[in-house]
Amino acid sequence: MDNRSIVVLEKPMPRVPLPDWHGKVWELRQTCDTRRNDAFNLRNESRLLRNETDAKTYWTTYHNNSRLSDRFVEVLKWKNTMEDLVKSIDREINEMRKEKDLTEAEIEFLGLSFTVVNDCLTQRDQRGGADLCTDDGEIEIKYELQMLENLKAMMTQKCMDAWIQVNRLDELKFKIIRDIHDKADALLIDQEAVELDNNGGNISFKPDPARIPSDVVTYECWLDHCKYLKSLGDAEIASSQNLREGMYVPRERARNDLKAQNDATNFALRKRIYETQRIKNELDWQRLNMVKDMEKLHKEINALEKALDNKKNAIKLVETRLENRLFRPGVECCRDEAAVGLEEELHDLRETRANLTAQLDNAKATFNALEDQLVNIDRELHNKNHALSTDLRCLDLRRRLASGERGPPATQTDRNIQLTRLQDEIPPEP
């Protein structure tokens, strides 16, 4: 029986020698130092990497923010340029439409001119006799008709060109407006990108943000597209301005030419009216004198007929005397002086009667010629009166071409305003 006071129980393991224990302690010390040194180096490397990445990330973000801001400013500048271009195109379209409306108004006025010319030709075609001639008035009216045809064809072509130009400007405006909308959407996207930061709540990971779309274009292509639209807009505006000038100048020249031709035609008609009136007055004077001469000639014919009647009894007397003296008896039937005298008287009376008869026939023929001439004069007077009234009606018809806004100015001030073309610059009266 074991009499020990306590019972010591030991682990059933072999004991470590003291040198091994010291070795274990030294090994643990060395391991801790190594791990602490590695942790120190790792901390320093991590801090250095963190600082470098933070700085790189900061400056990268800063430069990209600057690039986005510059891009925003550039797109905004081009957007403003395109908006100004659209305003210029709108102004040009309005001006072009005004010019087109003015040209169409001129064409409409040409329709009135055609009507007046047609009425004048129709009126003057109603003249009769020798007055139906090709005079200066008819030449000027037909020349005016040819001028109207040329002006109508020219202005119609100008209106067609203006309509085509307006359509081209509208099409270009549509393209530019679509480009402006694209730029506005791009500005919104870039502005949102600039306003994003690391602490925003609307940022997240994306599956493949660096992918390149199939329809993406290069910056050079985008810049060329913007410059192309700008140059195309400027070219179309310049072309439209040239076309407007090409419409304004011929229109004003045509108006001046029509006015000059209208004055020439009116002058020719007034000249013709003056000549016709002069001939009419002369014919009236001729008719008056002819009527007087016919009255005198009629009296002379009556006198000749009376004288011829008076000679009948004288001839009867002479012939009766000669006939009775032929029945004288015997030697008494001689050719004495009385017989010779009676024979001479009979011969003279017969010659006188023949002369009176010839003179009466001549007087009647002259009277008939005067009557025929009077009929001709009356017919000519009728033609002259009709031609005169026709030309006067033509002048009345042509007054419509110089009425309204095409009429002469009422005052000298209005004339000066019209000559200097200050109508649009003078403010309206209150």
> What per-residue confidence (pLDDT) applies to 175?
93
The residue ranges of the chain whose pLDDT is under 70 are 1-4, 7-8, 131, 402-430
For the stretch 411-422, pLDDT in tens is 666 656 655 655
pLDDT of 51:
92
Residue 144's Cβ-count burial label (10 Å; 0-12, 13-18, 19+) is buried
pLDDT at 410: 55
Q: Which residue has the tokens 């100004």?
A: 84
Contacts of 28 (CB under 8 A, 6+ apart): none
Res 421: pLDDT: 59
Across 234-254, b (16+ Cβ under 10 Å) vs e yields eebbeebeebbeebeebbeeb
Question: What pLDDT shows up at residue 78?
Answer: 94
pLDDT at 419: 57
- pLDDT tens, position by position, 237-257: 999 999 988 888 888 888 888
Extract the runs of DSSP E, i.e. beta strands, from 124-268. Answer: none
How does the average pLDDT of the chain come out, rounded? Answer: 84
Residue 160: what pLDDT? 93
CA distances for 93 relative to 96, 178, 228, angstroms: 5, 18, 20
Report pLDDT for 169.
93
Write down the pLDDT at residue 172: 93
Q: How far is CA 60 from the centre of its chain?
A: 63
pLDDT for res 197? 82
Query: How high is the pLDDT of residue 426?
Result: 63
Q: What is the pLDDT of residue 80?
A: 95
